[in-house]
Structure 1
Amino acid sequence: MGQEIVFPVLKTERLILRKITETDASSIYTYLSDPEVMKYYGLEPFQSVQDALAEISWYESIFKEQTGIRWGISLKDSDRIIGSCGFLNTVSSHYRTDIGFEVSKEYWGQGIGSEAIMAIIHYAFEHMNIQRIQALIEPPNIASQKMVEKAGFLREGLLRKYEYACGKFDDLYMYGLLKEDYKL
């Protein structure tokens, strides 16, 4: 019987990044049902709390399978989840993972996303045996491009019609951040 892996809790100046549980479903539904938040998410806006519970179940499965990890973002003075960030498609044999993130619209423009992704980037390079973190971002999603560029990612190219989501093919920019280029 394998030893259960403890979910890491990360703290920043303003945030606590923690495991998302079923009790967070209504908070997650609130922002993942917002068409503006979901515009570049690759899924249709959530229609019910059941959709949020399915998302939470997926977060649990990627952690258990060690193919990813997703943290809930909360402000230090509140336990309410206002966004999430983490890694998916982790390929340990290639020391590589993809980063993903979203924040509730009411917190846009406050640096919450940047603060959260800097914490998880540091965690990945220090504790996950990762050499490369990738970000796949739709060309119109300027805010996310600026956020990853601020974190040190370099745009490496355009992947044409790379993803089929919400009834259409999407081009995606490939961004990469290498451990040796990251200033810990």
Structure 2
Amino acid sequence: MEPLIQPILQTDAVRLRPFAAKDAALIRDASVDALIPSITSVPSHGTEDEILAFIRRQHDRLRLRTGYSFAIADAHSDVAMGQIGLWLRDADRGRVSIGYWVGSRHRRHGIASAALAAISDWGLTLPGVHRVELYVEPANEGSWRVAERCGFLREGLLRGWQEIGSRRRDMYMYSRLE
């Protein structure tokens, strides 16, 4: 089976593009964040080899056809500021999901909103996709406010939905339809 082809999604604020070795500094910073390593595949306190392996895994998602992992980069400087992915686990049922994080130095500047709007709009154009989903911890008000700004509706609370660290956590379910 052919690998997926990853586009570059450009807005006035952000460029969603494949990760590159030049993005290692962002991954290094994220690896020491209090939350990012516990809810993503970013290595905790990652070594240089682990950080480069993380970047390779993002590219492998295309080969494995599991989804699209984008670096969220500044539209003008191309400096990476975060990660956003569109995951295809339930694409055969018309549903895809999105996950994202923004590096601590780049938060509260509208970056997550710009990236989420861009990837959601694009994801809903993929053949057979009619629903985009997000899962957000109730305590993560910043993230669920981003979702709501981008047209996602909160559908309910999924109790014990996801393991984070060593504990099962409740998650808000958000969706946006075509």
Aligned-pair CA distance for 1:5:
3.9
Q: Distance in 2 between matches of 1:62 and 1:45?
A: 17
Q: Distance in 1 between matches of 2:142 and 2:164?
A: 20
C-alpha spacing 1:45/1:54, structure 2 compared with 1 (3 Å): closer
Q: Distance in 2 between matches of 1:83 and 1:133?
A: 20
Deviations 1:65-93 (A, max 9, x none): 22211110111232321101121243221
Percent identity between matched residues is 28
Q: Distance in 2 between matches of 1:102 and 1:128?
A: 26
The answer (yes or no) to whether the contact 2:83–2:100 under 8 Å persists in 1 is yes
Aligned partner of 1:143 in structure 2 is 142
Structure 2 gap segments, 5+ residues each: none
C-alpha spacing 1:42/1:5, structure 2 compared with 1 (3 Å): closer
Compare 76-85 and 146-155 and name the one that shifted more: 76-85
Q: SS at the partner of 2:128?
A: coil
Q: Distance in 2 between matches of 1:164 and 1:136?
A: 12
Q: Distance in 2 between matches of 1:89 and 1:127?
A: 11
Aligned partner of 1:15 in structure 2 is 14
Aligned partner of 2:162 in structure 1 is 163
Q: SS at the partner of 1:74?
A: strand
Aligned partner of 2:114 in structure 1 is 115
Deviations 1:124-145 (A, max 9, x none): 1123531111111111000011
Q: Distance in 2 between matches of 1:128 and 1:33?
A: 38
Aligned partner of 1:130 in structure 2 is 129
Aligned partner of 1:32 in structure 2 is 31
The answer to whether 1:79 aligns with 2:84 is no
Compare 120-129 and 148-157 and name the one that shifted more: 120-129
Structure 1 gap segments, 5+ residues each: 180-184
Deviations 1:24-70 (A, max 9, x none): 223222233222x5287356862123332332233222222222111
Q: Distance in 2 between matches of 1:116 and 1:159?
A: 25
Paired positions, count: 177
Q: Distance in 1 between matches of 2:88 and 2:4?
A: 18
Q: TM-score with structure 2 length normalisation?
A: 0.88
Aligned partner of 1:55 in structure 2 is 54
Q: Distance in 2 between matches of 1:56 and 1:39?
A: 14
CA-based RMSD: 2.2
Q: Distance in 2 between matches of 1:71 and 1:142?
A: 23
